[in-house]
Structure formats: C-alpha cells, structure tokens
Amino acid sequence: MDLLNTLLDKGLRRELPTRDEALAVLATSDDELLDVVAAAGKVRRQWFGRRVKLNYLVNLKSGLCPEDCSYCSQRLGSKAEILKYTWLKPDQASEAAAAGLAGGAKRVCLVASGRGPTDRDVDRVSDTIKAIKDQNEGVEVCACLGLLSDGQAERLRDAGADAYNHNLNTSEGTYGDITTTHTYADRVDTVQKAHAAGLSACSGLIAGMGESDEDLVDVVYALRALDPDSVPVNFLIPFEGTPLAKEWNLTPQRCLRILAMVRFVCPDVEVRIAGGREVHLRTMQPLALHLANSIFLGDYLTSEGQAGKADLDMIADAGFEVEGTGEVTLPEHRAAAHAGCGSHAGADADAGADAGCGSHAGGGCGPCGSADREPPRKEPVSEARTDLVSVRRRGAGTDLAPNA
C-alpha cells in the first residue's frame, strides 16, 4: 500500500505527513487495519523499541469543578455519581502514589479539578511533589491543575515537577461546542507557559465526542506545532449525568486508526493510551501497544480501569516490556532538547510550515478550520457499552486499597 510505505518512510525520518495522508489513515478499511498497525508499529519501534512506560494517576481533588467541559464527570452541573472530595494532604497523596510506583509506574500524574490553581494550591502541590520525590528516588512527577497563571509553572518546576499536562482535547474550530467557560487559546497559553518554564509539556486529545476526521487531524497537527513531549490519547467515557452520555461513536478499529494517525504525525513522541481504552479498545488493547509506547496503570480520575496486574500481563503477553525507572523514555535527540513532535529537533525544514492550526505556537495556519473544507465524515454510532463504565470507588479519597 503506497500510502503506508510513504507514512512509514516519513515516520522513520520524523517528517510531517500531509493532511491528506493523515486523513487517509482514518479512512482506511477494517480489511487494511493490520497493515496500518504494522506500518505505524515500525515507526513506534524505531523510536521506542518494545518499551511501555507506565504512568499512575493520583486525583488530588475530585469533582465540584466550575468549568462546563461537556465530556467531564467533574464538570459544573454534572449528575455523575462520582467521588467528591477536597485536597488530599501531601502524605495521603504520597501514599496513593506509592501503590502505582510499586506496580511499576515511573511517572506519577497529580491531577486536581478546577479552572486553575490559586497560589495556595501551587504551594499544596509543591509540598506533595516534594513528599513523593523524597520517598521515591528517580520518580517523574507531572502536574495537571488546569489553566496556569504567570509564574506558576516556574514554581512547580522549582518544587521538582518534571512535566505539566494540559490537553487541547479537540480542534480549535469545534472547541466552543464542548466548553464555554474557557477558550482553546487559554489551553494553548498554558501549554506554552509549561514549555517556557522548562517543564516537559504533555498535551493530548479526546476522541469520540462526535468530531469529524478533519477535527481529529486538526487537533493532532496543532499538537505537533505546540511541541509536547507526551501526547495522551483519551477515548471519551460517556458518563451518565454528563451532556455526552449518549456519544458512543468509537469502535476498537476506529481507536486503532486514531492511534496510528497520531503516531505517524508525532513519530518520536511519547504517545500514551489514556482514559477509555478498556471501554472502547476492549480485547484489542494489546494491538494498541504496537502504536503507543505509554499507558496509565490501573484506575483513572473518576472511573475504574482494568486490574493493574492485567495491564502488566497484557504488556508481557504482547511481547513488550515495562520501561524501567533508569531508562530514558524519549529518543536521545528529543530528551536532550525537550523538543516536541520533531519540528525543532531536526525534522525536515518544511515541517513547521505544514504544522497547521499552530498560529498560537508559531506554526502556519493552513487549512485548519477553514470554511471551505469538506463536510465532516462521521462513522456509525457503535454499541453503547455502559457495562464497561465503572465509577471509581477505591484508591485516593477512599479507605479502600487502590488498583495498581
């Protein structure tokens, strides 16, 4: 297949595919799926071998968020019956993190609901970062606290944070349909603040919210222009009690095509399968490891994942290995410079000009969001698997042992 040969060659050279090539990946048939996975898998192995990085989430503060993000069970007005609690103390958060680290995680992701942290909140999280690092040599800590104000990224860095996560989630053109209490530009600004402070930027997307193929390509090209080191790919968990509870738009095959497209566009970036993999990939999760080199271990913020031991067994059975604490995740050329998807780490000179939807990050703005693009193409709604959506009732904020 000429398309896949072209994408494989570009991926091995860290060259940006064209938008048409990225769209073509999403349009491939189920008969071509294994060929798509095989080609993208070669790109993944070129840059990350057979290593799988494990990350562990600690939800520092759950629920009661003033923002109205339609996909989120913690949103303003959510009727989802999730855990709700205020800030964990540093020792509580450190204890929660220890479970994931004991299970093989090398990065702890500290998350708190809300629009963004106050300075007092940054102090709290700084104390938590120090507590975790004092007790766990070599651990990476990523903070995810919402929109950052000036100087807060630097304070988190000084406290020992290695990375900051803030996802773009969807395309700029459709962002206002998902959230009204802040803007796409606000999110871009926070990713740039993290970058400028010397933190490793982590920013990704949510698939399955009713977006078109064009929207998916738009947001992934925008991510490439923003240069994150990590790109989490979330698959919408349609929680009852949220506006998107009826959005069941994903099949396992669709999820694999999305992951392959992300890998081709961001070949040497840590691509992480994040929330919703158990719900939508289901028994196809092992195939996804040929595309992504990173997963979350155990549970998520407000939903339960599969058993931590099942994650480890899946990795081993698929012929992969857990990345050790002493191993560097990113390829040498990126680890040295904290460069993003390749555009200022030696990729082809035309990559920046083609990096679409990157006007906030210095890239060209090409056809992304233009009024004359073709109408969105949507796949048939898949079967609702509400039986696979389980609200988290263990771990942080409870008296029950965590899943790790």
For 62, which DSSP code?
A: B
Q: CA-CA distances (angstroms) from residue 56 to 16, 94, 203, 309, 347?
A: 31, 12, 16, 14, 31
Is 365 designated active site? no
Burial class (CB in 10 A: 0-12, 13-18, 19+), 51: middle
User: Which parts of 90-155 are beta strand (E)?
Assistant: 107-112, 140-144
Find the catalytic residue in 14, 19, 44, 72.
Answer: 72
- Phi-psi label, residue 374: left if phi above 0, alpha if psi -120 to 50, beta otherwise: beta
What's the one-letter identity of residue 351?
A
b/e code 346-367 from CB counts within 10 Å (16+ = b): ebeeebbebbbbbbbbebbbbe
For residues 322 and 315, the answer to whether their CB atoms sit within 8 Å is yes
Is 357 designated active site? no
Find the catalytic residue in 142, 266, 357, 368.
Answer: 142
Pairing, β 107-112 against β 140-144: parallel
Is 254 designated active site? no
Find the catalytic residue in 272, 277, 334, 392.
Answer: 272
Is 142 designated active site? yes
Find the catalytic residue in 14, 107, 109, 341.
Answer: 109
Q: How far apart are CA 342 and CA 331, in angstroms?
A: 11
- Residue 204, φ and ψ in degrees, nearest 5: -145, -150
Find the catalytic residue in 14, 19, 44, 69.
Answer: 69
Is 341 designated active site? no
Find the catalytic residue in 44, 65, 124, 187.
Answer: 65
Is 65 designated active site? yes
List, by residue number, the catalytic residues: 65, 69, 72, 109, 142, 202, 272
